[in-house]
Structure 1
Amino acid sequence: MTVVDVVVIFVIFLSALFSLIRGFVKEAISLATWIIAIWLAATFASKLAAALPNSIESEAVRQAVGFGVLFVLTLMVGAIVNLLVSQVVKKTGLSGADKIFGVAFGVLRGALIIIVFVLIGGMTPLPDAEWWQSSTLLQWFESAAIVIKEYIPEDLNLSY
């Protein structure tokens, strides 16, 4: 086992630990909130930018403000929803199951983080490095990345 393998295990462990502490419901709502916030901000930033006062002269600044406002507002609404749903989970006595599913969620998220690292690394010469080649765990995640690679545009030129 190499240092890289230890780092991979540590990333997955930390993700699982955070999810154990927070629980599945909080983790799932948080992830959904971030995805929705990015989508809403990207989709509607230009509409909000058009409604901003003319005192903001730069179109780029107007777009950035529109994106930022929508993104932050969506995260705030998501945090409120997360708080309310978490209270319901506690009151119904489902905290134990929530924590167990949270660990599973955390392990999957940690694995996804490593897969994203491998995908990004695949766009560089990193997969040819000796430390990459000697890692046992990176090879497993590389196999998963190869499957996912089919859905990534060819012009990104992954090295594996």
Structure 2
Amino acid sequence: MALTWVDWLCIAVLAMTTLTGLFRGLIREALGLASWIVALLAARWFSEPVADLFSGLIESPDGRLVLAFVLVVFVVILACGLIIRLMHAAVEWVGMGLFNRFAGAAFGLVKGAAILVLVTILIGLTPLAQLQAWQQAELRPELERLRDWSVGQLLAWEDRLPASTSSLESLSAPDEPSAETAPETLRDSANPDTNPE
């Protein structure tokens, strides 16, 4: 088995993310990623209210919005960082530090695999897929199988969204006249003399 430079690069990515997870632990790895997601969501929700606070200091609306976005992200990341430090110290104090580190290594390995799958998807959309080193890479078939499985899972998850949307629309839709009451309504409108005075 002759490994190409693509194989060695993939191995290096997996080794780096695994070792990083081992040293940082699951608490820092998983919650660190989650903190960025929370920070971006918070910035999306609170950027405009925070930007209004700078209306007397900054004239440009775009400048106020950019400053508010960066400020919200920074504050949330800082707060989450303090919480993560406390949780990591608590885990170490109760004697679960070894488990935390091995779980972090597993999380890092999964994160590295996810990065490689994303890179595989991007390579498939570019002429880089025709590179000889990529075509002869020993890890390419495994990465492509992971890519196909991941895309299939995303499509299956996306297919479930219209069903839930239609069910919500059916709940909010006004009630239509049934087939039994419709003819009676038509007869009453066609014969106005039969209506009681």
TM-score (norm 1): 0.86
Higher relative contact order (CA 8 A, sep 6+): 1
**SS of corresponding position for 1:136:** coil
1:80-110 C-alpha deviation (Å, 9 max, x unpaired): 0011001100110001111111110110011
Moved more, 75-84 or 140-149: 140-149
**SS of corresponding position for 1:79:** helix
Indicate if the aligned counterparts of 2:55 and 2:64 stay in contact, CA closer than 8 A.
no
Q: Distance in 1 between matches of 2:56 and 2:146?
A: 49
Q: Distance in 1 between matches of 2:124 and 2:39?
A: 28
Residue 58 of structure 1, CA deviation? 2.1
Q: Distance in 1 between matches of 2:123 and 2:56?
A: 43
Q: Distance in 2 between matches of 1:42 and 1:120?
A: 27
TM-score (norm 2): 0.71
Matches within 5 A, 1:1-160: 1-150=3-152, 151=154
Moved more, 87-96 or 43-52: 43-52
Moved more, 1-10 or 136-145: 136-145
Question: Which consecutive residues of structure 1, in runs of 5 or more, have no partner in the other structure?
Answer: 154-160
Which AA in structure 2 matches 1:34? W
Residue 117 of structure 1, CA deviation? 1.5
CA gap of 1:64–1:95, structure 2 versus 1, over 3 A, is same
Question: Which consecutive residues of structure 2, in runs of 5 or more, have no partner in the other structure?
Answer: 159-197
**SS of corresponding position for 1:23:** helix
Identity %: 27
Which AA in structure 2 matches 1:54? G
Bigger radius of gyration: 2
Q: Distance in 1 between matches of 2:92 and 2:135?
A: 46
Q: Distance in 2 between matches of 1:60 and 1:135?
A: 47
Residue 120 of structure 1, CA deviation? 2.4
RMSD value, Cα: 1.8
Which AA in structure 2 matches 1:116? L
Residue 145 of structure 1, CA deviation? 2.0
Q: Distance in 1 between matches of 2:54 and 2:124?
A: 41
